[in-house]
Amino acid sequence: MRNFLHFTASGLRRTVLAPSFVGAAVGQCALSLLSVYEEITLVGADSTASYLYEMGIYANFWVLFLLFGAIPGATLFCADWENRYIRFSAARAGKAAYGAGTAAACYLAGTGAVFVGEWLFLGALCLRYPLLAPGSTVINSWMSTPFAPLLTPQRILLFYAARFLIKACCAGFFSVAALWVSTLLPNVFVALASPLLLNYLWENVAIFLKLPAPLLFASVAKGNIPIQDSLLWTALYPVALFTGLAAVFGALFTAGAKRRLEHG
């Protein structure tokens, strides 16, 4: 456990405290603003930040949040493999501790980058537009969503926090999946592209197999899946799903890193 915590802390210092983390969060914010730029020019000052944020969810660039989530941590193994840091680390503290700690840092960094980026996007919109307007179209449409009970002036930030966390956990999971891919092919560009490719592959497999909505990652990441008519379970299910999948791919990454070390 001590070695695991050491590698997790070390990985977080290399990701969360690195310029790439800030760049990922700011980049996601900038791309989100770009995705609603046309809508902004059409509505002018007669809109709300909530409405524009909702439009951004359905923009063509929406899925690129997976890329920004991968930037801080998905290339950790590529860097370690290139400079051979992994051999020293594994010899000193063990391969399992290195793999588990690196995967945990990757997940937390990817989740954190997207979570911060979402708040930056909403905050940027609020610089020009009010957050809400009574009786607005977006509020009326949200009344049928699982998080509708949070649509009050006192709880609206909790509404956004829940949705941002779910989306961020999805990005964290795909970041760890990309980390695992990097053990198969230690290339930075492959690692960064992997979340988009894996998401595309899963969405097509899910459609082909006609899987239920709770297994459609895009719908889950948007917070559109009600669970047992419970606000708590509706929030916990996506977080547990993506965290659990991240743990699975973290184990695959650990096994892949061990194999790389043993066979070069």
pLDDT, tens digit only, all 264 positions of the chain: 888 888 899 899 999 999 999 999 999 999 999 988 888 887 766 678 888 888 887 766 788 999 999 999 999 999 888 887 667 766 676 888 889 999 999 999 999 999 999 999 999 999 988 887 765 555 556 666 777 777 777 888 998 999 999 999 999 999 999 999 999 999 999 999 999 999 999 999 999 999 988 888 988 998 878 877 788 888 899 999 999 999 999 999 999 988 887 776
- The Cα–Cα gap between 50 and 135 comes to 12
Residue 56 CB partners (closer than 8 Å, separation 6+): 32, 35, 36, 62, 121
Q: How high is the pLDDT of residue 51?
A: 84
Note whether 194 and 256 are within 8 A (CB): no
Give CA separation, 227 vs 17, 163, 191, in Å.
36, 15, 33
Q: How high is the pLDDT of residue 171?
A: 97
Listed residue (69, 76, 12, 32) closest to 256, CA to CA: 76
- The Cα–Cα gap between 73 and 55 comes to 29
Listed residue (132, 118, 130, 127) closest to 168, CA to CA: 118
Q: How high is the pLDDT of residue 61?
A: 75
